[in-house]
Amino acid sequence: MDKELGQNLLEQKLKDAVWIGRSLFERNKTAGSSANMSFIHDGRMYISRSGSCFGNMKEDDFAVMDMDGTCLSRNKPSKEWPLHLKVYRKKPETGAVLHTHGTYGVLWSFVPALDETDAIPDHTPYLKMKLGRVGLIPYEKPGSQALFDAFEQRVMDSDGYLLKQHGAVVPGKSLMDAFYCLEELEESARIAWMLRAAGVR
C-alpha cells in the first residue's frame, strides 16, 4: 500500500472510531469506560486503550497490537482485547469489532435461549439482513481467560454475540458496518424485550 494512502486510510478510520464512540455515548448506548472497539489497519489491530471513554474519545486513544497479541504502543489496550483478536483470527474478513454494554442487549442476555447460536428473535427482518444470527455466550467473569475460552469455542457459530449478563460483541467489514450492525442488534433486543413484556414470544 502506498504510504500516503495508508496514512490517509488510517486517519479516516480513527475519525470514524471517534465519531462512533461519541454517537453511542451521547445516546446512552454505553456508559463510563465500559465499552471498547477495534479495527484492523495494515495487518495490525488498533484497539481503544484501557480506561478510555467513548464520550471523550480522541484519535490517540488507541493501542496498537500485532496479530499475536503483542502491544506495539505506549497505550495499554483494553483488557478485553483477546475477544477482538479471536474474531479477527477466526474470521479474517472482519475489519472492525465493537463491544458495548447496551441496556437492551444486556437485558435480553438474561432471557433463556431456545437456540444459543441464534438468541435474539427476528421480529423484524433487519437483524438478519444487516448482521445475521446472534449467539449467546455463557457467563464468565469479564476480562477472564474463562470468558475468552468460552467465546472462542462459539465464535464460528454466529455472526454477532451477546455475552450473558455482560453485553454485545459485534464484528463488521468496517467500523461503520460494525456500528450499523450493533445498532440493529440493540434495536432488535429492545423490540424483543418490549414484546416479551406484552406477552408476545
Active-site residues: which are they? 80, 126
Strands 44-48 and 62-65: antiparallel
Residue 23, CB-side half-sphere exposure with 13 Å CA sphere: 12
Residue type, 119: A
In terms of Cβ atoms closer than 10 Å to its own Cβ (0-12, 13-18, 19+), residue 74 is exposed
d(CA 63, CA 81): 10
d(CA 154, CA 194): 28
Write out 29-72 in H/E/C secondary structure: CCCCCCCEEEEEECCEEEEEECCCCHHHCCCCCEEEECCCCCEC
Per-residue cell: 149: 475460552
| Neighbouring C-beta atoms of residue 77, cutoff 10 Å | 24
Length of the chain measured in residues: 201
